[in-house]
Amino acid sequence: MDKNPLRVQSAPPGKSPKPTPLVLIHDGGGTTFGYFSLGKLNRDVWAIHNPRFFTAAPWEGGMEEMARHYIGLIETIDLSGPILLGGWSLGGYLSIVMARILADTPSPKFTVAGMLMIDSPYHIALNRFPGSGADPDFTKLPDLVRKSLKNCDQLLQNWELPEWAGPALGGKTVTLTVGGEKHQIEDGHILYKSLTEGWENVEAKPFEPHAGVESASAAVGPPPAVLVRCVGYAKTQAPTDQACFVDLYRGERFLGWEGTYPSFIKASMDTDTNHYNIFDFKHVSKLTIQLNEGLGFLETLKNA
Name the amino acid, one letter, at 277: N
Angle at 201 between CA 195 and CA 204, to 5 degrees: 95
Q: What is the pLDDT of residue 148?
A: 95
Q: For domain 6-302, is the CATH number 3.40.50.1820?
A: yes
**Residue pair 63/155 in contact by the 8 Å Cβ criterion:** yes
Q: What is the pLDDT of residue 217?
A: 40
Cα separations in angstroms, 298 against 20, 82, 188: 9, 11, 17
**Residue pair 149/113 in contact by the 8 Å Cβ criterion:** no
- The helix-helix angle for 62-75 and 143-155 (nearest 10°) equals 120
Q: What is the pLDDT of residue 20?
A: 97
Other CB atoms closer than 10 Å to residue 146's CB: what's the count?
15
Name the amino acid, one letter, at 254: F
231: Cβ contacts below 8 Å, ≥ 6 apart: 195, 250, 270, 271, 272, 273
Cα separation of 158 and 127, whole Å? 6
Q: Strand pairing of 265-271 and 225-230? A: parallel
**Residue pair 99/91 in contact by the 8 Å Cβ criterion:** no
Cα separations in angstroms, 175 against 172, 191, 242: 10, 10, 40
Upstream peptide bond of 82 is cis (omega within 30 degrees of 0): no
Which stretches does DSSP call E strand in 49-173? 81-88, 110-118
Burial 125-134 (b: 16+ CB within 10 A, else e): ebeeeeeebb
What's the distance, Cα to Cα, between the start and end of the chain in Å? 37
**Residue pair 191/184 in contact by the 8 Å Cβ criterion:** no
Cα separation of 8 and 31, whole Å? 13
Residue numbers of the chain with a pLDDT score lower than 50: 215-218
Q: Report the candidate in 152, 166, 194, 139 with the shortest Cα–Cα distance to residue 63.
A: 152
Angle at 262 between CA 229 and CA 61, to 5 degrees: 80
| pTM, two decimal places | 0.95
Q: What is the pLDDT of residue 131?
A: 67
Cα separation of 84 and 282, whole Å? 26
Q: Give the residue extent of every domain in the chain.
A: 6-302
DSSP label of 24: E
Q: What is the pLDDT of residue 176?
A: 97
Cα separation of 124 and 128, whole Å? 7
